[in-house]
Amino acid sequence: MITRLLLISFIFVTAALSQDAAHANYKSPYKVKFTFKEEDLIGDIIKGPRGDWKETASVPYRDWYNPANQGKWRTWGPAAKHFSPPAGLSGKTVEWSRERVIATGLRFVGYSYQHHHVPDWDPPADWPRDPEMKTPSGKGVDCSNFTAFVYNLAHGIKPTGTVKDQSELTEMPGPGPNRTIPVKHIELPKNYEDFEKALLTGDLLYVKNTSGKLSHVVIWVGKIGQSPDGTPLILDSTGTGSKDSDGKEIPDGIQLRAFRSTSWYYKQASHAIRVIPDGK
């Protein structure tokens, strides 16, 4: 029995090291060219307390790994706290607000795909684990908890992390606690070529699985995205399986990926939600 447990532990450790190496060694051909300086977009996240990962949950960091919370949190860990809106938000343009979403999301590129609410929650080996998860335990989030966390950290807008419920929202909590903001549902065009006209940077694009069930969400990068072949880009957290324009497999988790006409993202696209309102 001890030998078997040691073997299982060895397999998981080896898999985790292999996964870490894949993330560390991967060089994406995709880039984002912002029209605002990084300091202007997310300086408060880079240097200020807003970017302190130990302050991202609804409970103090000292309680993150308290065994007493295992039954309550299960595999998901602590919930994210609701951030206040960033200082000076009312005086910013919609373009700044949209680009801040992408700049915030890019801070987590390389995090793995996990069923967590908070990206930096890294449960110990004896913590309960979802048996359906194929990736070793570690820091990371799933698709809808990623989009929820990014909007929360960027703007203090905190939608649910459940993908189907998130896709049906007509309003979201925020900016900051005790407020709500209406959101706009976007009907998608029939032709692939028209997606770039219909969607704007920061829009949330929802995708169905092959059975027709709503199962995934991505952030549309829009005109600030740059790919070698001009293909539109999305930012999301998902598993392995997709390849970049160089033919290399993209690691699981949070990465920039291409929105191709042959991709599942396009073929199974359902609708989009615009959180940042239209306007100047």
Domain at 225, CATH number: 3.90.1720.10
Report the distance separating Cα 101 and Cα 90, nearest Å: 16
Q: What is the pLDDT of residue 22?
A: 64
Residue 56 CB partners (closer than 8 Å, separation 6+): 80, 81, 118, 119, 120, 149, 153
Domain presence at residue 111 = yes
What domain range is 88 assigned to?
2-274
- For residue 37, the model assigns a pLDDT of 97
The pLDDT of residue 12: 42
pLDDT attached to residue 8: 38
CA-wise closest residue to 132 among 120, 147, 115: 115
With respect to residue 98, please indicate whether it lies within any of the assigned structural domains.
yes
- pLDDT for residue 21: 61
In which residue are the tokens 């703007």 written?
155
Rounded to whole angstroms, how far apart are CA atoms 253 and 154? 20
**Bridging pattern class, strands 225-226 and 233-238:** unpaired
Question: What gap in Å lies between CA 261 and CA 258, rounded to an integer?
Answer: 10
Q: Report pLDDT for 43.
A: 97
How many independent structural domains does the chain possess? 1
Q: Is residue 279 part of a domain?
A: no
Is residue 280 domain-resident? Answer: no
Residue 38 lies in a domain: yes
Can you give the pLDDT of all 280 residues of the chain as single tens digits?
A: 444 434 434 444 444 444 566 677 899 999 999 999 999 999 999 999 999 999 999 999 999 999 999 999 989 999 999 999 999 998 999 999 999 999 999 999 999 999 999 999 999 988 988 888 777 889 999 999 999 999 999 999 999 999 999 999 999 999 999 999 999 999 999 999 999 999 999 999 999 998 999 999 999 999 999 999 999 999 999 998 899 999 999 999 999 999 999 999 999 999 999 999 887 5
- Which of the 8 DSSP states describes residue 47? H
Residue 125's pLDDT is 87
DSSP 8-state assignment for residue 262 = T
- DSSP letter at 80 equals B
What does the pLDDT look like over 49-68, one tens digit per residue?
Answer: 999 999 999 999 999 999 99
